[in-house]
A and B are shown apart, each in its own frame.
Chain A
Amino acid sequence: MSLEPSESRKQPITLPKSGTGIRGLDEITAGGLPAGRPTLICGAAGSGKTLFSMEFLVHGATQFNEPGVFMAFEEKAEELAVNVASLGFDLNELQREGKIRIDHVHVERSEIEETGEYNLDGLFIRLAYAIDSIGAKRVVLDTIESLFAGLTNQAVLRSELRRLFEWLKEKGVTTIITGEKGEASLTRQGLEEYVSDCVILLDHRVENKISTRILRIVKYRGSIHGTNEYPFLIDEEGISVLPVTSLQLNHSVSSERMSSGIPALDKMLGGEGFFRASSILVSGTAGTGKTSIAGSFVDKTCSDGKRAIYFAFEESPRQIVRNMQSINIDLQSHIDAGLLQFSAARPTLNGLEMHLLNIVKLVEKFNPSVVVLDPISNLITVGSNSEVKSVLTRLIDFLQGLGITVMFTALTLNDNRTEQTDDGVSSLVDVWILVRDIESNGERNRGLYVMKSRGMKHSNQVREFVITDQGLKLVEVFLGPEGVLTGSARETQQLLEKTSEALRDHAVSRKDREIERKRFVLESKIASLKEEFESLQEELNKSYIEDELKKSIMDDNRRELTRKRDDLL
């Protein structure tokens, strides 16, 4: 017997969903709101309930071909139209086309006298008429709790509301009911009691004077859904919920390399630079040229015809462009060419999650190869360390998933604890470059280290990092007798070495000449000895020949004498 569910088990009929068209929401609800059922959207005043429901209707009408009825208990149709016009929704046009119908229900307490039994058939009839007149598939009741202010008979109201929701279900329309947040319950009038299929809570939270909008699916009967608090954004494109919470470490990796824009740095990184889609942290104390490294990287990327986004949290784009010009990096031309986009915002402008959302939105829109965040340290001002880390983790995850290389710069405090960045992100990143002040002989110089670089051979050397008019350079650090030498000490040492080299050269050549002379002397000596030897030899030869000559003559003479004596005989 197996406890595993059998493979052949029929997939049960799942709950049909009605897409909201709201970015990210369909993702966390696995398709949208439950189709043909009521959904309760609750939240405090100003949490975006009306906008949420209006987007649901407008998207339904424009994207899903599902006309909708908006029953407004609070705002007039004209007011609504004006309110959502800023999001590019033309309600009047949609109403003319018969895609949306707005019915303003006005309950004026002072005009109403209650006597005896009644029911809300009038409301039902109105709603039915509105639904039938345009064949609506979606209905919004915003905010039906207003009825409780207008009518006093709570018992009747409650039973009628229950009947209304049942009736809407029977009608098969997907309904959004909005409700104001109550003290102890989700809504003031306990509407959640009647709407049991799906409840979404919108919240608007202010922490450290920074507001964050939060969306949470409190319940969703019959469907899996994300249960976290998701931050959402209301901007000129309406609501976007971006569930950047996944932490799956399964994105594909690339072995493609990309240059850092500083040839000597590439050399330190196994000769080829960073991996594509890796994360790079450039940390250092104030004024060590972190932004310059980032600028150089961006410049290189854009020069290669790729796109980049520069998120500046400290300086304005113009300031960065101007400052980069001083080291011969022309970012303006990349901006003009549409390859580089700046996004500058003070960290305190938004909550952390909002920053993340903004980054994600912009990245999805611009589709860059490289993203720079300069500096991440400032984000600390709007969140705690752990929050920053969580946000950066998700950001890295998101960017790596898209194959985007990201460079962070981070400020480290000058406390010699170089092994740690204050953001605690050093363990997350793939490459960590540290720029550090080396102070000696009354001057400050910059030393650059590659602290870590995953998956590649990298230099363990400290290089002196020089910012010149022509750009960034890395210079070999001199290891003198007193340790590492940088700046003018290095130059002095270089001069010294040059001098001693010249001196040595000179000494060597003098010795060479000496040897040459010695050889010359010796050679001439050898020549004269040779001459001497030859004359001696000649002398010896001479006497020898003379002797020979004498001997032969004497022999001849003797023979002559002998013959002559013989003749005399």
Chain B
Amino acid sequence: MEEVKEDIWELRLYVAGKTARSVAALANLKKYCEEHLKDKYVIEVIDLLVHPQLAEGDQILAIPTLVKKVPEPIRKIIGDLSNEEKVLVGLNIRPAK
């Protein structure tokens, strides 16, 4: 599928401190983005231990949570993002099978 628009993936990764799981999640995410969305993504890492008030806005329950706000629709991917297939589907990079 050709890219019709120059979409920028705005990604937010919510973590709580530098736990092994959040570090793994961030590493996984960066890897996938580099592979599939080179130069078309922004990753914002939000540490809820520092900004707890931000949890409410995006309805964060699980940690780590990756929120894709743009492009629509909003999707949340929770977990350490170890399953590449699921993450790519979740980010609408690859259509669901």
Binding site for B on A (CB under 8 A): 103, 105-108, 111-123, 125-126, 128-129, 147, 150-151
6 smallest CB-CB distances across A and B, nearest first, come from A116-B79, A129-B52, A121-B63, A113-B90, A116-B82, A116-B80
Interchain CB contact under 8 A, A122 and B76: no
Interchain CB contact under 8 A, A126 and B77: no
* 4 further contact pairs, Cβ within 8 A, besides A113-B76, A125-B49, A151-B61: A105-B59, A115-B77, A116-B25, A118-B63
Interchain CB contact under 8 A, A118 and B64: yes
Residues of A within 8 A of B87 (CB): 113, 115
Interchain CB contact under 8 A, B61 and A123: yes
CA A177 to CA B82, docked complex, whole Å: 33
What are 26 residue pairs bridging A and B, where the CB atoms are less than 8 Å apart in the complex?
Answer: A107-B61, A111-B75, A113-B76, A113-B86, A113-B89, A115-B82, A115-B87, A115-B90, A116-B79, A116-B82, A117-B21, A118-B63, A118-B78, A121-B48, A122-B14, A122-B16, A122-B48, A122-B55, A122-B65, A123-B61, A123-B62, A125-B60, A125-B63, A126-B60, A129-B53, A147-B61
Question: How many A-B contacts if CB must be within 8 Å?
Answer: 98
Interchain CB contact under 8 A, B90 and A125: no
CA A116 to CA B79, docked complex, whole Å: 5
In the complex, chain B residues 41-93 whose Cβ is within 8 Å of any chain A Cβ: 48-49, 52-53, 55-56, 59-65, 73-83, 86-87, 89-90
CA A10 to CA B82, docked complex, whole Å: 59
In the complex, what residue of chain B is closest to A112 when comparing beta carbons? B76
CA A112 to CA B87, docked complex, whole Å: 11
Interchain CB contact under 8 A, B48 and A125: yes
Of A114, A115, A126, the most chain B CB neighbours within 10 A belong to: A115
Interchain CB contact under 8 A, A113 and B78: yes
Of B52, B75, B86, the most chain A CB neighbours within 10 A belong to: B52
Interchain CB contact under 8 A, B62 and A151: yes
B83 in complex: contacting residue of A115, A122, A147, CB < 8 Å: A115
CA A113 to CA B55, docked complex, whole Å: 18
CA A277 to CA B66, docked complex, whole Å: 71
Interchain CB contact under 8 A, A115 and B80: yes
A113 in complex: contacting residue of B53, B59, B61, B77, CB < 8 Å: B77
In the complex, what residue of chain A is closest to B82 when comparing beta carbons? A116
Residues of A within 8 A of B21 (CB): 117-119
CA A108 to CA B60, docked complex, whole Å: 11
Interchain CB contact under 8 A, B82 and A119: no
- A111-B74, A115-B80, A116-B82 are known contacts. Are A126 and B89 too (CB-CB below 8 A)? no
- Minimum CB–CB distance from B59 to chain A (whole Å) comes to 5
Residues of A within 8 A of B90 (CB): 113, 115
- A116-B83, A121-B16 are known contacts. Are A126 and B52 too (CB-CB below 8 A)? yes
Interchain CB contact under 8 A, B55 and A129: yes
Residues of B within 8 A of A115 (CB): 77-83, 86-87, 90
B79 in complex: contacting residue of A108, A117, A128, CB < 8 Å: A117
Residues of B within 8 A of A112 (CB): 75-78
In the complex, what residue of chain A is closest to B64 when comparing beta carbons? A118
In the complex, what residue of chain B is closest to A107 when comparing beta carbons? B61
Residues of B within 8 A of A125 (CB): 16, 48-49, 52, 55, 60, 63
Residues of B within 8 A of A118 (CB): 21, 62-65, 78-80
Interchain CB contact under 8 A, A126 and B63: no
CA A120 to CA B65, docked complex, whole Å: 10
Interchain CB contact under 8 A, B63 and A122: yes
In the complex, what residue of chain A is closest to B48 when comparing beta carbons? A125
- Minimum CB–CB distance from A129 to chain B (whole Å) comes to 4
Residues of B within 8 A of A106 (CB): 59
Residues of A within 8 A of B53 (CB): 129
- Minimum CB–CB distance from B28 to chain A (whole Å) comes to 8
- Minimum CB–CB distance from B38 to chain A (whole Å) comes to 21
Residues of A within 8 A of B83 (CB): 115-116
CA A243 to CA B21, docked complex, whole Å: 53
Interchain CB contact under 8 A, B63 and A117: no
- Minimum CB–CB distance from A114 to chain B (whole Å) comes to 5
In the complex, what residue of chain A is closest to B55 when comparing beta carbons? A126
In the complex, what residue of chain A is closest to B21 when comparing beta carbons? A117
CA A75 to CA B61, docked complex, whole Å: 17
